Structure 1
Amino acid sequence: MRIFIVIALTSMLFACEQGAQSPRGFSLPEGDTQAGLQVYKKYQCGDCHKIAGDPEKEDATYLIVQPITLGGSSGRIKTYAELVTSIINPSHKLTPRQPASFTSEDGVSLMRIVNDELTVSELIDLVAYLQPKYKVTPYRTSDYRLYQLRIPDKNDDTP
């Protein structure tokens, strides 16, 4: 009986991902990182974003108070789909920790929507340029000292 319940629950979980809104099967071709850099410049992404690890120019000016850093280290991988979504739907996933200067009064991203300008090829190249900028930092586990159980000796007064 237990195995039947496990199989039924597993089937329901996987069945949920097979609907029309499922990302299963979504794949774009490989992009060109050099062309992606040109797309980054063409759409003036550097007006509001900076790339983690790239040296900042002394005369750098941004359209927003605090530039949004792209790339850097994280405890989890930034997937291809997340980058595509961030570009074509910048309001999709805004964290409450984002400074208010990143959003409008109604909580919508201030990033300009480029969906009617950006070609699919440019999107693919831009993601190919950005994805290697994200580095996964392995989770650092806590180091616990080994404790030894001390069994008191009959002649030992220490508890």
Structure 2
Amino acid sequence: MKYLLFCYFAFISISLVSCDLGPDSPQGFSLPQGDVDKGAMVLTKYQCLACHHINGIEQAAGINNPGLNVRLGGNSTKVKTYAELVTSVINPSHKLARGYPLAIVTVDGESKMRNFNDVMTIAELVDLVEFLQPHYKLVPYRSTNYQFYGY
């Protein structure tokens, strides 16, 4: 009985893992390593800080969008992967910023972020992601500590 149960769970596990191997799977997708210093220049070139802010990095004078100031980086309880950052730049509507009212970050359900796919080179994208990724810090998830209420 134990053997049959083990085989069943092994089959289910293998089936679930193999679901990611379809033609739309990100498996095998990899970009070369970027340059952090060039990434900082890309951030300035495309005026990303007009709508975003990163702790410790100041906006250039005269570039400000008080109606939209989405934070990049910071503490997170889950890893911000390279692929997520690339996707956020090339398809900003894929996942909208959490913690902001939808009216601030969307227009008709689409991200307000400008599409840079026709102007940003792949090298610039790689450098930008290389610059952004270290600004995300993984912190352990803290569960709620419920106090005992004696009856």
Q: TM-score range by the shorter chain?
A: 0.7 to 0.9
Matches within 5 A, 1:28-43: 28-43=31-46
Mind listing any 5+ residue stretches in structure 2 that lack a counterpart?
Answer: none
**Correspondent of 1:51 among 50, 54, 63:** 54
Aligned residues, how many?
Answer: 144
Tell me which residue corresponds to 2:121.
Answer: 119
Query: 1:94 maps to which residue?
Result: 96
Q: Higher mean Cα deviation, 114-123 or 4-13?
A: 4-13
Q: Show CA shifts across 1:19-58 (max 9, x none).
A: 111111211111100000111111111111111233567x
Aligned equivalents of 1:103, 1:143: Cα separation in 2: 36
- The one-letter amino acid paired with 1:108 is E
**CA distance in 1: counterparts of 2:24 and 2:78, whole angstroms:** 24
What is the aligned partner in structure 2 of residue 78 from structure 1? Answer: 80
What residue ranges of structure 1 are gaps of 5+ in the alignment? 146-159
Measure, in 2, the Cα distance between the counterparts of 1:128 and 1:9: 37
The alpha-carbon distance between structure 1 residues 102 and 139, as it changes in their structure 2 partners (threshold 3 A), is same
Q: What is the identity percentage for the equivalent residue pairs of Structure 1 and Structure 2?
A: 47
Q: Does structure 1 conserve the Cα–Cα contact (< 8 Å) formed by 2:73 and 2:133?
A: yes
Cross-structure match for 2:14: 11
Alignment of 1:109 onto 2:108 = no
Counterpart residue identity of residue 136, structure 1: L
CA contact (8 A) 1:53 1:72 kept: no
TM-score by length of 2: 0.84
Greater displacement, 66-75 / 106-115: 66-75
Correspondences of 1:56-67 after superposition (within 5 Å): 61-67=63-69
CA contact (8 A) 1:64 1:101 kept: no
Q: Secondary structure, in 3 states, of the residue corresponding to 1:135?
A: strand
Deviation at 1:14, TM superposition (A): 1.4
Per-residue CA distance 1:52-83 (angstroms, 9 max, x = gap): 233567x5652351411111111122111110
Secondary structure at the counterpart of residue 111 of structure 2? coil
| TM-aligned CA distance change 1:127 to 1:96, over 3 Å | closer
Q: Deviations over 1:76-115 (max 9, x none)?
A: 22111110010000000125742212111x1110100000
RMSD: 2.3
Q: Secondary structure at the match of 2:30?
A: coil
AA matched with 1:11: I
